[in-house]
Structure 1
C-alpha cells in the first residue's frame, strides 16, 4: 500500500524540507498538505519546485477550527487514505501573546488529534514539540521526562508544553512519535534557511556593532542547543517509519553543544572577523532591549536573552540509540558555521527572511 502523508504547517521551513526529503525517498507516496488561507499562493509556488508535485494536494484549512475547516468529502477521503500525519503547524515566536499561542499551539493540536482519531489506515502520528518544553529546568533533561513542575520563559514554551502533555494523553489511542528539536538552523551544507531568527539574532546584533569593539553578552556559560535542518529532517524521516519509535520521545539536539559564549565568539569571528573583547551583563542587555526603539534598531527580540543563561543539557541517548547504524548524526556546529554565516551575509537584507521585531 502506497503511503499518504497528511502534513500541517506547510509551507513552513521544517515542513517544506521534510516534504522534499519524503518525496525524494518515497516516489509512490501522496501528500495532503493543510495550508492556512493566507499561505495558499506561497504553498502552490513552493510545490512547483518539487519532483512529483502532481502527487501533492493542497487543502485550505485552519487547525484552530473544528474538523480543521475541511469539507466533508475531503475528510472522508483522508480518513480512508492517510497513513502518516506530521503536525508541525504552530506559533514559534518567543514574543507571542498568550491568547494566540494557546489558540494555535494547544487548541490547534487538540483539533488535529481529534480529527485523525477515525483514520482507518493511520500508521503514525508525528508531533513536533520542542526541547524547550523543559522551561526553566536546569541540569540534564531526559527524553522520557515532561511534567516536572517547571515554569516557562514565554508563552511559546508554555503552550508547547501544554500541547505535548495533551499528545501524551492520546498515546493509548494513536501510534504517536514525539520529536523535540533544539533550535533549528539552516542546512549544514548550504546554510539555507527561511528566517533569520534564533541564533541569527546574534548575527543581526553583531551587524550593528561590526565597526566597534565587540562585547560578549553575560557570562555565557549556558549551553545553547543548535541543530541544522538536514539533521532534523533526516532523523525525523527515519523515526517516522521505525516501528520501534512508536510511543517514544526523541530529542533532536546536539549531543556535544557549545556554550553561548563559544557560539557567540564563533559567529563573531566568522561574520565580522573579530573576537569579543569585553562583557556586557545580560541583565543590562535585557533591560536595554525592553525599550522598543532600541529593540527595533538592533532587530533582536528581548526574549532571546533568556536563553543566554539557561543551564540545561538535553540528553539524546534514546535518539542516538535509534539512529545507530543509519549514518544520521548531528554535525558539529564549528564544522558548518561558515555555511550559515555565508548564507546570512548573502540574504540578510531580504525582507521576507527578517523577523519583524516590535
Structure 2
C-alpha cells in the first residue's frame, strides 16, 4: 500500500523539518498537511506546490479536526501514518488556551486516529518535561508520579500524553524531546528561545565583566533539531519503535558550563562573578528590566531544575540505525555563529512579557 502521511502542526519549526526529512527518507511518500486556516498561505509557500502534498485547512480544537465529513471519510482507508505535532509550546501560555489546544485538540486527534483503518503508526510529540517538578533520574516508562508542574504548558502536555498512552490497539510512538535548539551543523533555527535566552542576556555584556546567574550546577538537556528529526523518522518505521522515547542529550553538561562556553564564543571572555539566583529572580519581576535583558523567567526555571532524562530505550533502538545525539560542546559554535548573524532580526526574537 502506498504510504500516505498525515501531519498536524505544519508549518511549525519541528514539523517543517520533519516533513522535509520524511521526503528525503522516502521520496514516494504523499502527505496530507492539516494546517490551521491562518497558516495556509505560509504552508503553501514552504511546500512550493509539491505534487506529493495536499494542504487541508483544519483545526484540531474542532470536531472532526475542522474537516468536512467527506474529507474525513475519504482519508479513513488511505492514511498509513499520522504525526501529531500541533500544540501550544509557549511556556507562559494561559491555562484555558493550553488546555483547549493541547488536551482537547489531542483528544480530537485521538478520536480521528482510531477511525484510520490502514494505520501503521501514530506518532505523538510530547515533551520530556511532562515530568513537571520531579527531580533526579526520569525514566521513559514513567509518566504519572503525582508531580506538579512549573507552567500550564507542562501540565497540559502531561494530560495529553496520558490520553495518547491510554489508547488501546493503536501502534503508537510517543516522542519526548528535551530542549530543542537549531541544527547542529548549520545552527539554523527560527526563534531565539530556550537556551538562546542565555545568548540574548550575554549580548548585553560586550563591555565590562560578565556575571553568572546562580551556581548553575543542574544539568540542562539540550538536543539539536537534526537529531530529533533523524531519530523520529527511524523510530516511526522501526518495529521496536512502539513505546515512549526520550530524545534527549543525556544532560552531560551543567548549565553553568554551557553558559560559560556561550560567553566565550559570543564575547571572547568568561563570566567572572556570581549574581545570586534569588536576586536575579527578584530583578526579573521588574517588567522593563526583564524585557531589556530579553530574559524569560519561565525559561530560567528550566536552567535550574535538577532532572536527568534517561534515554536507554531510545538509545537501544536508535543505535541499530547508527543514530546518536551530537555532543553539545561540538555544535555550540554553530549555534552562536547563527545567533550573531541573526541577533537583530525581530522575527527571531521571542517577545518577553
* Structure 1 match to 2:230: 234
1:215 paired with 2:216, answer: no
Return the alpha-carbon distance in structure 2 between the equivalents of residues 295 and 44 of structure 1: 37
Instruction: Determine the structure 2 residue equivalent to 1:305.
Output: 300
Q: How does 1:124-135 map to 2 (within 5 A)?
A: 124-135=121-132
Query: In the alignment, which residue of structure 2 is the partner of 1:67?
Result: 64
- 1:231–1:329: 8 Å Cα contact kept in structure 2? yes
- RMSD across aligned positions (CA): 1.1
Structure 1 position 256, deviation (Å): 4.9
Aligned to 1:93: 90
Does the CA-based 8 Å contact 1:95-1:301 persist in structure 2? no
Distance 1:167 1:191 in 2: 32
Q: How does 1:1-358 map to 2 (within 5 A)?
A: 1-48=1-48, 53-170=50-167, 172-246=168-242, 248-358=243-353
Tell me the SS of whatever aligns to 1:234.
helix
Residues 282, 305 of structure 1: 8 Å contact kept: no
Gap regions ≥5 residues in structure 2 = none
Instruction: Indicate if the aligned counterparts of 2:251 and 2:308 stay in contact, CA closer than 8 A.
Output: no
TM-score (normalizing by structure 1): 0.96
Alignment length, in residue pairs? 353
Q: Give TM-score scaled by structure 2 length.
A: 0.98
Contact 2:197 2:295 in 1 (8 A): yes
Distance in 2 between residues matched to 1:125 and 1:317, nearest whole Å: 22
Give 3-state SS (helix, strand or coil) of 2:209's partner.
coil
Secondary structure at the aligned position of 2:334 is classed as helix
Q: Kindly state the Cα deviation for residue 265 of structure 1 after the two structures are TM-superposed.
A: 0.5
Q: Which runs of 4+ in 1 moved over 4 A?
A: none
Q: CA deviation at 1:39?
A: 1.0
Please say if residues 190 and 343 of structure 1, whose CA atoms lie closer than 8 Å, have aligned partners that are also in contact.
yes
Deviations along 1:44-93, one digit per CA (max 9) or x if unpaired, are: 11112xxx821111111111111110112211122111111111011111
SS at match of 1:268: helix
Distance in 2 separating the partners of 1:285 and 1:256: 24
Q: Given that residues 5 and 30 in structure 1 are in contact (C-alpha distance below 8 angstroms), is that contact kept between their aligned partners in structure 2? A: yes
CA distance in 2, matches of 1:111, 1:119: 13
Once the two structures are TM-superposed, the CA of residue 356 in structure 1 deviates from its matched residue by: 1.3
Deviations 1:79-132 (A, max 9, x none): 111111111011111111111111111111111101121101101110000000
Could you tell me which runs of 5 or more consecutive residues in structure 1 were left unpaired when the two chains were aligned. none
Tell me, yes or no, if the aligned pair for 2:77 and 2:117 is still in contact at 8 Å: yes
SS in 2 for 1:105: helix
